Amino acid sequence: MKASSSGATSSDEYSRYLQDRIKQLEETNTHLKERLESTEREGRYYEDMRTRYESEIRKLRSELEKLRAPPLIIGTVVEIIDEKQMVVRSSTGPRFVVNYSHFIDSQEVFPGAQVGLNQQSLAVVSVLSSAKDPSVYGMEVIESPDAEYEMIGGLAEQIEEITEIVELPLTEPERFARIGVVPPKGVLLVGEPGTGKTMLAKAVANRTSATFIRVVGSELVQKYIGEGARMVRELFELAKEKSPSILFIDEIDAIAARRIEDGTSGEREVQRTMMQLLAEVDGFDQRGDVRIIGATNRPDILDPALLRPGRFDRIIEVPVPDERGRKDILKIHTAAMKLKEDVNLDILAKLIERATGADIKAISIEAGMFAARNNKNAIGMEEFERAIKKVKKSKQWDYLTEKESGVMFA
Q: Whole-angstrom Cα distance, residue 103 to residue 367?
A: 72
Q: Whole-angstrom Cα distance, residue 352 to residue 12?
A: 128
Q: Whole-angstrom Cα distance, residue 159 to residue 143?
A: 22
SS3 299: helix
Q: Write the pLDDT tens digit of every residue in 91-124.
A: 777 888 888 877 777 777 888 788 888 887 888 8
Q: Whole-angstrom Cα distance, residue 353 to residue 323?
A: 7
Q: Which residues contact 190 (CB under 8 A, 6 or more apart)?
A: 197, 295, 296, 297, 299, 315, 316, 317, 318, 409
Task: Give kind and range of the element (H or E) at residue 134.
Answer: helix 134-137
- 323-409 folds as Helicase, Ruva Protein; domain 3 (1.10.8)
- Domain 136-317, second-level architecture: 3-Layer(aba) Sandwich (3.40)
Binned average pLDDT, 10 residues per bin, the chain of 410 residues: 59 80 84 86 88 90 80 84 84 81 76 82 80 63 74 86 85 84 83 86 83 82 74 84 84 80 67 81 65 87 81 85 87 87 86 85 89 88 88 63 36
**pLDDT computed for residue 396 by the predictor:** 60
User: Does pTM surpass 0.85?
Assistant: no
Q: Whole-angstrom Cα distance, residue 230 to residue 224?
A: 11
- Are domains 136-317 and 323-409 of this chain identical in fold? no
Task: Give kind and range of the element (H or E) at residue 290.
Answer: strand 290-296
Classify burial at 256, counting beta carbons within 10 Å of its beta carbon; exposed 0-12, middle 13-18, buried 19 or more.
buried
Going by their DSSP bridges, the two strands 140-141 and 245-250 should be labelled as unpaired
* Residue 246 DSSP code: E
Q: Where are the domains of the chain?
A: 1-68, 73-127, 136-317, 323-409
Q: Whole-angstrom Cα distance, residue 145 to residue 148?
A: 9
Q: How many CA atoms lie within 13 A of 273 on its CB side?
A: 28
Domain 73-127 has CATH 2.30.110.10: no
Mean of per-residue pLDDT scores for the chain:
80
Q: Write the pLDDT tens digit of every residue in 13-68.
A: 778 888 888 888 888 888 888 888 888 888 888 888 888 999 999 888 888 887 77
